[in-house]
Amino acid sequence: MKEKLDGSLKSVRKALQIFELFTIDTPELSISDLVRKLSMPKVSVYRFLRVLLKSSFITQDRQTKKYRLGIKIFELGSIVLRNFDLREVAFPLIVELSKRSGETVHLGVLDNQQVVSIEGVESDQSLRISLPVGKRVYLHSTGIGKAILAFLTDQEIQEIVRQKGLLRFTNNTIIHFDQLMKEIQLIKKRGYAIDNEENEHGIRCVAAPIFDVNKQVVASISISGPSVRIPHSRIPELSSMVIETSQKISKAHGVSLKR
């Protein structure tokens, strides 16, 4: 019985590994991709795919023969989003902030030591920043990430840096731990984080944390746009806006949690 249970758990883990291989940047994978990434025999990968195809968790393009996540994943994701109270509470405030600032606004949450965008409103200007819902970004190089990172415990910060490292994306990216900790102290003091073209050239971002009823950081909200439209002189104005909105979301989310 125990051996059968262990086998079932291994199968579940493998199925989850298959799901996790699909990302915003890699929505489709060939059988060769899956075999290579899973380090499994092709016959075993095919066996898992047959089960997932039958239950609509995976679908296959008839022309390219590549696999992608199926309608069942979408259905389950829709249930999660529908019940994601934070997203529901934040959305009207995000829309308002985007209109006031004239820039793109995103809401992100911490997941697996990265930030995932769960909601966003793009600027209506022709030159604007786009971050698709579901996109993952690093904590140390983004405003939306540093706004969360700064309010985690020192132990959590150290573990994230140990696991993810401090990768360089531009010449402005923070790649030294001591420098990151100084930045974190500054964020705590002023209440907002800045991405000064640290994740992408030409993009500047101002972000603030969102807290739950227990004063634990649960998310962050950011205003981002081309650096030519967000010069340093505009940071005080935008930081005031983003802090005000993050506090409103924190308050509204706290009320909803108490229901």
Q: Where in the chain is the domain with CATH 1.10.10.10?
A: 2-72
Fold of 2-72: Arc Repressor Mutant, subunit A (1.10.10)
Query: pLDDT category, 4, cuts 50, 70, 90?
Result: very low
Min mean pLDDT across 2-16, 42-56, 148-162 is at: 2-16
Question: In CATH, what is the architecture of 85-257?
Answer: 2-Layer Sandwich (3.30)
Instruction: Give the chain's mean pLDDT.
Output: 88
Q: Is 41 helix (H, G, I), strand (E, B) or coil?
A: coil
pLDDT, tens digit, 9 for 90 and up, residues 108-160:
999 889 999 888 888 877 666 666 777 889 999 999 999 999 999 999 999 99
pTM: 0.70
**Which DSSP string do the residues of 80-92 spell out, in sequence order?**
HHHT-HHHHHHHH
Gap between the Cα atoms of 44 and 175, Å rounded: 41
